[in-house]
Structure 1
């Protein structure tokens, strides 16, 4: 379990507007496509908005036809004005008002030809609108997926620019969650909201215009309930925002716990820590469940609230509209169209409110990915290179380094490795052995002093040029899922089959491959059990051999292997070290007795240097370490 993992606080949200503006800026390269989306959506909305008005006209055709049949007792051939006068004379004033507004001709029924033309026109309008919406949605999918691709590409490129300390201090699961879950959430949010925002905004504008055209009195009455709806939506959105932020933060934490449990499954099982991880997972999963529930519950209140607003508006329109139809102020078809518009008006409002909550969720994810993309990067790399071929002379001059300010790890370290020498670095845990290697590879930058290769300060050399001359074989092996040959060739892009085979032979991997059905084409990975830890180590040695480095770093490559495999690994490393300057981090002192130079480190500094015999004769720190290991081993051997 990472020591920092349980102590991280919930991050505070950045400015929502600033985050969304940054996302919009990332969409600038697609502005022509977005402009086309707006045009297509605008046409689709206009066609949709016209539809209810046309359907109102169809209703009027039916309505006037029905009234005409009702007035069949009146003389035929009367004009509308004459019909109204006659009805008023008969004391049928309300019917006269309705006839006057509806332009009814007595005894003339429903004009089905006119009705058919209107309905066909409405159907054509809706079909064309649907086609335009489909095309706009298709373009949006292209734009959003391109944005997702760009975010992932930037995240992948960023990993090569952040210092190693940034990764060391954070949960790997949380970083993976940012690049996967959060980017997916951003793309899903934009996919669901981008076209809908354009469509709903334009729909609101079009509906408002049509409502005022039909009846400005009814429009004003309808809008009495709008401020309440907007206020309600704003309050719900503010309440939901922190829960969405916590939801995606906690998603990263749960991913981190799962990642640690999976990668360390054997250790967790061996030490019986399943309950510890289960409790940690349950705690974080419960927090995630609560945050997700609250976010969805609060945002889920939006639709019922907007439906309430819609129904209130509907009641107002139905009552007042009915009165106006009876008084002849407006036709039945116009009221029907207005009712449709009033119902449609609250729908885009509700959808915009719901999308505001979706945008809050997307913004929370965007803040997390932007926080990663904005992380401090390594200093600009130098442009210098080493002379070719490199001799492999390495010198540390009064090097000082600390991971944290005021907590020095290396204090005044000085050592000199001549070309072709094998330098063994020994010392107790925490002495700074691995740190020394990290500084040589410039995984971290020193605080003061100099590290020179062939007399050239490595701070003046590009990291790529520096590491091109170095090879590493670490205690913890790393293989990717692929064939043994592909894992060996990882060190050299243009490696030939002959070079891969030669490296395999030098590291005794050919013996291993000979025992496998597919030989060097056998699929392996870092977590699988196809081959043993020692056999994985042989593959990493072959990889380093193929790279043919001038400087070699070996981090106790035999500590996790059995005695038989250790002999193969030792032989392979002997071949690998030949003619190269080698730094060997050693825990088993018996494996470095023949080293040209043994460097003893304590508390971040070199306390002794010399050959094995010289250091034993001094009876100092090295002698004490060696005697302690020898004495511990002797009773164990007697017990066997």
Structure 2
């Protein structure tokens, strides 16, 4: 088993196109968003006020022994701290709230978009990668609002506000304070670039882990059947090791950067104390100013240290956004532009000069022509890869044809509203997929218009009622993931009930009895006869004994129609169908 690894590089921090697209999701909440900006400005304005009050308290009240004035300053400081706490709470909560509602909206839109994608897209895209887009990538967007954009704006405003106040109080002391700033800026830039690379490696590793786990847990039976546990474990261990190395690398950068930043800050404070002390001793500088500058430096250096983290958060958010929007803007979906929505169909099907290829012009079907009249049963026969399943996928518009046309009741299927088209076609596939839910849900798929009585009527028709009633809870029995607690035959019977409960005019059976025992096959054959009565039916079967009563048998070979006719007519021709029939008879005798 191999799995293509995903490698993603960070883009520009300020990608105006991506930010513009993100704002489309912000627009419904723009009132709250602009209030968040206001709170950000308010926090920046409040940041330097505390040192100012302390400076005033020391120089104008403590130094002069003014207890009443000092008490007033203390009251003001307490009020300021309460106000700052309230604004900080509102800012933190609002930024987090906006982030969560936006990722909820994006996740819902992305999932709705995925529901409309054509099956070809899922054939070519690892499911784990789509899970990463829907979970991890979208989750990182919340950080753009809670820790990225708003936080960066707040940190920058705070820096400029503090710097402005510092120059206003004492410009000489400010220049001394900033003497170590170039070292901090250089170290912050180096840290940002290193962590950016590490974060890219982490996100790539997470995406590869998700893809690997999804694929291999889903195919665990194949892994165990072919005794590949050790080799697959080694592959997983290698991917997991890459994930660990990327995380450890980012931890190492943090472990180096923060102590370096603390040392640079300490040196800056030391220079301020040294220079300020000489000014105090010389009576050129007041003690309150010196103490306030120490506080200003602490306030000034903190956002600079945080900016590297903030920019990386924003950058990874922009990368995630671009990947999400790339998926949202992909045109890999079935165009649902038709508006023909009949309540009932006769069920006449006509394929005219149909050509189809999954990739470019590697033709799977070549110039297919046949008709199925109302109430008739047509069987498709041929070796694996002959194009049988492709034909039924095209009739339901799971894939689009390249050339030709498919008509139902003389109406091109492109003219049908897609939901209406599929509602009139009941499909029973060879590989039955059941959700981890009740039998009732797996039959109705959550459709509230289908009653339990209708389900049991359909179950009785196809012979599934007895086994359903024997299960604990009946229709409320949980089949577990992929129907693991049911036999192959029982899962197949449930798929029959699921197709019949919608009462479709057209029935498509894809190898519907190929995986069941003889007893269950007999039960299903009886159900099939009841299902087909009065309906147009297309049947795919390798067991030719099951289609001898078909009105027309179409023999496919390498995407082309080789023979057409009834069972007896095709045997008389002694062609491809007769050879298949003879081979199966020999196989049955040998068994």
Q: TM-score, normalised by structure 2?
A: 0.94
Contact 1:248 1:364 in 2 (8 A): no
Alignment check: 8 A CA contact 1:56 1:333 kept: yes
The structural deviation recorded for 1:503 is 0.9
User: Could you say which residue in structure 1 is the equivalent of 2:470?
Assistant: 515
> Contact 1:488–1:540 (CA<8 Å) still a contact in 2?
yes
What is the aligned counterpart of 1:407 among 354, 359, 362?
362
Bigger shift: residues 374-383 or 118-127: 374-383
Change over 3 Å in CA distance of 1:300–1:152 after alignment to 2: farther
Q: Is the 8 A contact 1:309 1:346 kept in 2?
A: no
Per the alignment, do residues 448 and 45 of structure 1 end up closer, same or farther by CA in structure 2, a change over 3 Å counting?
A: same
For 2:158 and 2:429, the matched residues in 1 are separated by 63
CA distance in 2, matches of 1:492, 1:443: 21
**Based on CA coordinates, which of the two structures has the bigger radius of gyration?**
1
Corresponding residue SS for 2:14: helix
- The number of aligned residues is 589
1:606 positional shift = 0.8
Residue 203 to residue 294, structure 1, CA distance change in 2 (3 Å):
same
- In the alignment, which residue of structure 2 is the partner of 1:100? none
Q: Which runs of 5+ in 2 are unaligned?
A: none
* Partner SS state of residue 414, structure 1: strand
How big is the shift at 1:128? 1.3
Secondary structure in 2 matching 1:527: helix
Residue 181 to residue 63, structure 1, CA distance change in 2 (3 Å): same
RMSD: 2.2
Partners of 1:296 and 1:360 in 2: how far apart?
18
- Please name the residue that 2:34 is paired with: 35
Q: Does 1:127 align with 2:126?
A: no
Structure 1 residues 142 and 462, CA gap change in structure 2 (3 angstroms): same
Partner of 1:291: 246
- 1:612 maps to which of 567, 576, 587: 567
| 1:556-592 superposed Cα distances (whole Å, 9 cap, x missing partner) | 1222222222222222222212111111111222221
d(CA) in 1 for partners of 2:255 and 2:381? 62
Secondary structure of the 1:223 match is: helix
Report the alpha carbon displacement of residue 368 of structure 1 after superposing the two structures with TM.
2.6
Partner of 1:49: 48
- Secondary structure in 2 aligned to 1:159? helix
Match of 1:269 among 219, 224, 233: 224
1:104-119 aligned at under 5 Å gives the runs: 110-119=65-74
Matching of residues 111-510 of structure 1 within 5 Å: 111-298=66-253, 301-378=256-333, 380-385=335-340, 387-490=342-445, 492-510=447-465
User: CA separation in 2, counterparts of 1:362 and 1:305?
Assistant: 27
Write the deviation string for residues 125-150 of structure 1: whole angstroms up to 9, x where unpaired. Answer: 11111011111222222211111111
Task: State the alpha-carbon separation in 2 of the partners of residues 24 and 444 from structure 1.
Answer: 34
- Is 1:7 matched with 2:4? yes
280 and 411 in structure 1: CA distance in 2 versus 1, 3 angstrom threshold: same
Query: Do the aligned partners of 2:47 and 2:162 also contact (CA within 8 Å) in 1?
Result: no
Q: Which of 553, 572, 576 does residue 621 from structure 1 map onto?
A: 576
Quote the offset at 1:13 in angstroms. Answer: 4.2
Question: How far did 1:379 drift?
Answer: 5.8
In 2, the alpha carbon distance for the partners of 1:619 and 1:452 equals: 32
Q: Which moved more, 1:428-437 or 1:184-193?
A: 184-193
